Structure 1
């Protein structure tokens, strides 16, 4: 049977937490007592028709309940921060006094002045955000109870709190994942409780509810903002500029309860000591609350405060105090753990207790939180001055769309930037006006800006809960001068015009530089329209409007004389694509090249339509599958077929042109399928495989190149004389949490076409590599002689990876295998290397 939930939902389903004073000493005992509540408000139990926690909530139930509260209570209004990929509304309850509700517009205007560093007026803002991982459901349930409690309670401390505070409650930050999880676990819940962790109620199918529609971990997307859920969440943050953010999660069932501070030596150096001191003061309130209900807990272990792309750390680099909470997860109704039986209602109780302690603690420290935030933005280096400024000068010479992408990212993070008015040359690099930016360092968002481009390689503690580097210079493959000096008064804030395509009736073909990011989606549209497109296997120069233009290998040619389409129809389509995708196109009036290959050369290969298959299911890495799906679906608009490993044996592979294999073990696939896959390539198919998939392909004789795995790299570390206390340090050194390394490219290999230069930065997060014994002409890229660019990578790895293959292109019969030792699509922010997938999709098959 369910335990009584917080003693909160009895009688009129309302018991409330009280204290002698809201600003009481941290040691004050939080007492639980019956209290009055507004009888006109619908309680969670009345709304659901059963006690909260008896079934796992669906997202629509949460949203409808918030709307019910907002309709019934003068204390509650709602914020809509967009929709998810599956069109679920993202709602946040804004709970405060009636007076504040009537003045919300003025309060929001006041909050917009926070970044000026001016003295603050108005209420404290507390944001409690729950369940960004959809299967960490106790937080969402607690949020429903808390919303009712704050809306209905007549306790004096609640009235005082709401008079002086805006409380934002986001019950679910991942609606799509939440519904995937709740449907699963409710489907397998029987009348009789089963606490066995092996029961299907507790063991989700692939993919689990942790991630969103595209299997992305949204708690890693606060910086990159690839997904609408994250974009809406960060917009909400900057709209309200909260003083305190509570970030509520779940962890393994055998743990107790965690709240920050995290591991002190693993805090990002950009996070101030004042921030950590306030986090510690707040922790006193959480300890008090959990001691009161006899719940064990811990701090300063396991979790860190390093990567700023998480819900508890993004606030820290934006003038707020972010606190992570982790509750042991029942992943259903009840599970047996090493600490005894763990129930969903236990988890809800704990999350509710620390939600209350967050409110009490933040309000008790109101003056300190406001002062901290004001001082964060008050420094002279946080003021954007006029005239000559020092800043980051970034560019991508042939890629206006890539600059458009990063400007969207900067805008969402409220980072100031400027466009050039003319070409600027610095450090022997030309920065062109249409594809470059200047970002002043001294501005309100200086701290975040520096963090986003950080390229550190030295760390006090080389242990990372997530990646050790996320430098956007590398992710976007940018040209960059870090201490450029420009006069911002002569720069511009309005974006340069998009390139226009002007057709020429005398043209024989239209040329599109493949280095442009949006050339690939434009190509897909042309193929969908059955318009013939070729690509250049070698570079060439040709006369365009009386001027010699150089075109690199990979350049697309669209002949204007085609059997199925008129030149006018083709030109019209190309004009639409140029506008839609920010593409530079050139009309050629002759096929004769000034140098290199002519347009009629056999070295222009016809690109064939594609029909890719992406393997999914258990044994594949869901996040990497999702990244590939996102790229193929959302960027290229390619119809991609997702097929689970268990169904592959029934599929005729010759229906497809490509098979994508994300990282994973693929342990359920047998030799019979390996032979089938080998025949697929012999007959002309292309396999694109990365990381762990390479091990399976090699083991089953599909991939000839040998693989170096974890066992090989582990023996590189000398353990002589190490004692037991050195175990954790050794483990940290052997881990590759995520470091940025450099590849040396073979620019003549089609797999590298469209990448500017012969060096490429990628993110490496797995101890895997290819051997140097690869057959001649197959190695497309090697790790650089000194591979580490930024982040942490043990010296043993650096020496071993140096000058060893990272990308191999093996031909097999009429087909090919593209072997990638790393995930070049990391979190869909790695725009610099995603072109390799486009090359494997469109260019490699055209070689045969």
Structure 2
């Protein structure tokens, strides 16, 4: 009896785990499968739907299948920030795989009628939408092991590319969370901790970026690793598999037709609808609920389901209701993980089947897409774009590299070119012609549309890349006199001369993208530096060189130790920043090197307030810019830990958008004392509003009632509710600002205008003194994207960046976002300026 009791307990425990799991064949059509290909459950030791797999388990299974099947090839495409492998699994007939390099090379020369069609299936770009990654195991097994004749026929004409996990770091963060908090007995209560992740969710990658917004921007390593392979394979169809709220069902595109970007051909939507008939048939056969032509949109090209739309393919978004764990009660009944996995499998196979059965249609579409692109380019009123950045070659190179990753041809100028009243120097200017294969990608990156058929946006409406990176660009209607190189631009290594070891002082200019990286490294090593708060001129190599305010000066006479010159040389080389040798402290014009206008700089130790209540996305952007790009350590402390924190250990505190009302009165008072004693606070969006409410920031803001009063509701009906809501929202648009170039926070900027990104209706109304306004929006500020004219008029002339004293400290604030999605390198420089030059200015709050 005792042994029987133990057996029953064990059996009951096993049943509680496996009640919603299935063998792989339970997810697949009724085919005969080869015994030579290992099943997922045999390899893993558990069935699909029983547990959330880890990324290493997923990779090992794909490796095993590739080793057992002639139909499968595994390719490593790079590593994530946390050193997890990114892989592609290519599946086709053995004959196609043997000649894959040749087939891909032929595709780069143009579609051939006999080429196999390419279907790319990408899973779980949001790591906590993990049913897709689990489904990839079943799809790979099916294609590798099925002995059905239809599979052989399909693979002869089709190359299938599986990206089993687009976000390995986020996937494992989520898997660890769920597996940590699951119980022995399944818990379907939506309030259970298993279904509610911590502040850093598995949705995002290591730094906290949404990788499904990065296909166009390419700020993150995972996206850059993938993009060259995408362009090698040139998929005709791409499936992008996601999850949504538990109370939904299943969504597949097309979505709302009017919310498609005008650069996408109408035929794209028609072909998406053609494939939708295959998805509906697969789901109908199993009586599964779904919907289409609602919600979402195909406007922003930075998503996995939209980037193919400007690259000759058809991108399709799939959204499965998420159990966000193993099971969860929903309005449709008990939603299990297994159920979601099967929906993803069904629509993966329907995508492949629909593409294969219409292969000639998709081949012809792709060929016509690029023929039409060349015709459209010829009919444009402009021939191309001239781009230039005379001061910061590092930021310019960063921009050019992004264009090149998108397979855009860029040509260096071989002679100076005059357009209007400006001469574009050949050393810092480049031409991007429209008449090339990537015409639509170029227009997507450079265009500045502000009026659209449907003004309701799921994501941002403006993302013009040269504006984001503060790169000068103009459309050229005429190219007479424009001399460009015959070969396209290629990145080159930049070498700088070693500094003179006997110089009286060294100097480097602040306009370089990595100037803050160099300065921080030197200050951390104990090198003493000054920032010139006024301009000066010195003789450099026999010539007069004019140094602007913001130049960093390193006098030899105040240094200690014996290695400091070597350190300056080493890190100027690694950052690619030129060091100027200054022979005397007496300048030929402007302040001398011993002037009190040479402001002493000190090492910085910034802190970012994170945790529940703070935007994980804006925190990620700040962390990525300071930590990854500038190598400045950034301490992240959750709001809940602030009461126990010694603020005196930190020089700066960064507050991103969020809700800070949970901070106690005592904590706020401690923060105020730290600030008055010499600290610096930088705040953006609602954090700025919170500071104003606490009377720390002396700014008045436009309240919600004022925003509502801008919009009349007379004559509106219930059906107008969504449209009105869209008018009151700024999903993401670009606005022009005017800089006070005399202010230390604008050191390094050469133009007095700067594009800024805005994705909220937070508007600063008035500031007590003009000297506190570092930047303000221009009278006609909208540059790109949609914003209702009432809001545009309210934003016009309003402050965009303010800064003032609080005792011996400083507070700096903006209603905008300065480092949005890791590619806003123009305004991001205001963050590094706030780090190093906050004490270089003094402005009373009243």
Bin of the TM-score, shorter chain as denominator length? over 0.9
After superposition, the C-alpha distances for 1:54-94 in whole angstroms (9 at most, x for unaligned) are 11111111111101111111111101111111000011211
Which SS does the other structure have where 1:487 is aligned? coil
RMSD: 2.2
1:436 & 1:82 partners in 2: Cα distance?
Answer: 32
Alignment of 1:633-648 (within 5 A): 633-648=627-642
Whether the aligned pair in 1 keeps the contact of 2:773 and 2:802 (CA below 8 Å) is yes
Match status 1:751 vs 2:716: no
Instruction: State the shift of 1:629 in Å.
Output: 0.7
Match status 1:427 vs 2:438: no
2:19 & 2:227 partners in 1: Cα distance?
Answer: 33
Instruction: State the shift of 1:626 in Å.
Output: 0.6
Which SS does the other structure have where 2:662 is aligned? coil
Residues 728 and 632 of structure 1: is their aligned pair in 2 closer, same or farther, counting only changes over 3 Å? Answer: same
Instruction: State the shift of 1:703 in Å.
Output: 2.2
2:287 & 2:181 partners in 1: Cα distance?
Answer: 31
After superposition, the C-alpha distances for 1:415-470 in whole angstroms (9 at most, x for unaligned) are 11122334433232343334332212211111101111110111111111111011
Instruction: State the shift of 1:612 in Å.
Output: 0.9
1:251 & 1:528 partners in 2: Cα distance?
Answer: 45
Match status 1:632 vs 2:643: no
Residue 576 of structure 1 is aligned with which of 566, 570, 573? 570
Whether the aligned pair in 2 keeps the contact of 1:421 and 1:491 (CA below 8 Å) is no
Match status 1:140 vs 2:142: no
Instruction: State the shift of 1:257 in Å.
Output: 1.1
Residues 301 and 843 of structure 1: is their aligned pair in 2 closer, same or farther, counting only changes over 3 Å? Answer: same
Residue 210 of structure 1 is aligned with which of 199, 203, 208? 203
Is the deviation greater in 491-500 or in 344-353?
Answer: 491-500
Residues 704 and 383 of structure 1: is their aligned pair in 2 closer, same or farther, counting only changes over 3 Å? Answer: closer
Residues 428 and 550 of structure 1: is their aligned pair in 2 closer, same or farther, counting only changes over 3 Å? Answer: farther
Whether the aligned pair in 2 keeps the contact of 1:5 and 1:349 (CA below 8 Å) is no
Match status 1:408 vs 2:401: yes
- Count of matched residue positions in the alignment of Structure 1 and Structure 2: 822
Paired position in structure 2 for 1:186: 179
Instruction: State the shift of 1:737 in Å.
Output: 0.5
Instruction: State the shift of 1:828 in Å.
Output: 1.1
Paired position in structure 2 for 1:14: 25
Paired position in structure 2 for 1:773: 767
Alignment of 1:104-119 (within 5 A): 104-114=100-110, 119=112
Whether the aligned pair in 1 keeps the contact of 2:527 and 2:559 (CA below 8 Å) is no
2:373 & 2:735 partners in 1: Cα distance?
Answer: 35
Whether the aligned pair in 2 keeps the contact of 1:420 and 1:492 (CA below 8 Å) is no
Whether the aligned pair in 2 keeps the contact of 1:501 and 1:586 (CA below 8 Å) is no
Paired position in structure 2 for 1:503: 499
Whether the aligned pair in 1 keeps the contact of 2:20 and 2:49 (CA below 8 Å) is no
Residue 512 of structure 1 is aligned with which of 508, 523, 526? 508
Instruction: State the shift of 1:594 in Å.
Output: 3.8
Paired position in structure 2 for 1:25: none
Whether the aligned pair in 1 keeps the contact of 2:610 and 2:638 (CA below 8 Å) is yes
Whether the aligned pair in 2 keeps the contact of 1:627 and 1:828 (CA below 8 Å) is yes
1:44 & 1:512 partners in 2: Cα distance?
Answer: 58
1:434 & 1:616 partners in 2: Cα distance?
Answer: 43
Match status 1:730 vs 2:741: no
Whether the aligned pair in 2 keeps the contact of 1:782 and 1:804 (CA below 8 Å) is yes
Is the deviation greater in 360-369 or in 372-381?
Answer: 372-381
Instruction: State the shift of 1:571 in Å.
Output: 4.7
Whether the aligned pair in 2 keeps the contact of 1:56 and 1:182 (CA below 8 Å) is yes
Instruction: State the shift of 1:347 in Å.
Output: 0.7
Instruction: State the shift of 1:497 in Å.
Output: 6.6
Paired position in structure 1 for 2:648: 654
After superposition, the C-alpha distances for 1:217-247 in whole angstroms (9 at most, x for unaligned) are 0000001111111112212201111111000
Paired position in structure 1 for 2:679: 685
Alignment of 1:133-172 (within 5 A): 133-172=126-165
1:184 & 1:434 partners in 2: Cα distance?
Answer: 52
Instruction: State the shift of 1:530 in Å.
Output: 1.1
Instruction: State the shift of 1:360 in Å.
Output: 0.8
Instruction: State the shift of 1:831 in Å.
Output: 0.7
Paired position in structure 1 for 2:536: 540
Residue 378 of structure 1 is aligned with which of 362, 371, 391? 371
Whether the aligned pair in 2 keeps the contact of 1:621 and 1:663 (CA below 8 Å) is yes
Whether the aligned pair in 2 keeps the contact of 1:615 and 1:661 (CA below 8 Å) is yes
Residues 462 and 778 of structure 1: is their aligned pair in 2 closer, same or farther, counting only changes over 3 Å? Answer: same
Match status 1:85 vs 2:78: no
Residues 102 and 491 of structure 1: is their aligned pair in 2 closer, same or farther, counting only changes over 3 Å? Answer: closer
Compute the TM-score of the two structures, normalised by the length of structure 1: 0.93
Instruction: State the shift of 1:570 in Å.
Output: 4.7
Paired position in structure 2 for 1:395: 388
Match status 1:531 vs 2:539: no
Whether the aligned pair in 1 keeps the contact of 2:540 and 2:582 (CA below 8 Å) is yes
Whether the aligned pair in 2 keeps the contact of 1:126 and 1:244 (CA below 8 Å) is yes
2:713 & 2:822 partners in 1: Cα distance?
Answer: 37
1:254 & 1:214 partners in 2: Cα distance?
Answer: 29
Residues 246 and 466 of structure 1: is their aligned pair in 2 closer, same or farther, counting only changes over 3 Å? Answer: same
Whether the aligned pair in 1 keeps the contact of 2:412 and 2:485 (CA below 8 Å) is no
Is the deviation greater in 96-105 or in 489-498?
Answer: 489-498
Residues 492 and 377 of structure 1: is their aligned pair in 2 closer, same or farther, counting only changes over 3 Å? Answer: closer
Paired position in structure 2 for 1:675: 669
2:164 & 2:128 partners in 1: Cα distance?
Answer: 13
Whether the aligned pair in 2 keeps the contact of 1:401 and 1:583 (CA below 8 Å) is no
Whether the aligned pair in 2 keeps the contact of 1:527 and 1:533 (CA below 8 Å) is yes
Alignment of 1:473-484 (within 5 A): 473-483=466-476
Which SS does the other structure have where 1:201 is aligned? helix
Match status 1:230 vs 2:223: yes
Whether the aligned pair in 1 keeps the contact of 2:508 and 2:580 (CA below 8 Å) is yes
Is the deviation greater in 150-159 or in 665-674?
Answer: 665-674
Compute the TM-score of the two structures, normalised by the length of structure 2: 0.94
5+ unaligned residues in a row in structure 1: which ranges? 18-31
1:839 & 1:15 partners in 2: Cα distance?
Answer: 59
Whether the aligned pair in 2 keeps the contact of 1:3 and 1:345 (CA below 8 Å) is no
Instruction: State the shift of 1:373 in Å.
Output: 1.1
After superposition, the C-alpha distances for 1:293-334 in whole angstroms (9 at most, x for unaligned) are 111211121111101000000001011111111111110111
Match status 1:783 vs 2:777: yes
2:732 & 2:36 partners in 1: Cα distance?
Answer: 53
1:354 & 1:52 partners in 2: Cα distance?
Answer: 17
Alignment of 1:256-271 (within 5 A): 256-271=249-264
Match status 1:621 vs 2:632: no
Residue 94 of structure 1 is aligned with which of 90, 93, 97? 90
Is the deviation greater in 579-588 or in 757-766?
Answer: 579-588
Paired position in structure 2 for 1:27: none
Residues 4 and 576 of structure 1: is their aligned pair in 2 closer, same or farther, counting only changes over 3 Å? Answer: closer
Paired position in structure 1 for 2:5: none
Paired position in structure 1 for 2:447: 454
Is the deviation greater in 272-281 or in 555-564?
Answer: 555-564
Residues 247 and 105 of structure 1: is their aligned pair in 2 closer, same or farther, counting only changes over 3 Å? Answer: same
1:2 & 1:145 partners in 2: Cα distance?
Answer: 23
5+ unaligned residues in a row in structure 2: which ranges? 1-14
1:688 & 1:68 partners in 2: Cα distance?
Answer: 51
Paired position in structure 1 for 2:696: 702
Paired position in structure 2 for 1:65: 61
1:231 & 1:15 partners in 2: Cα distance?
Answer: 36
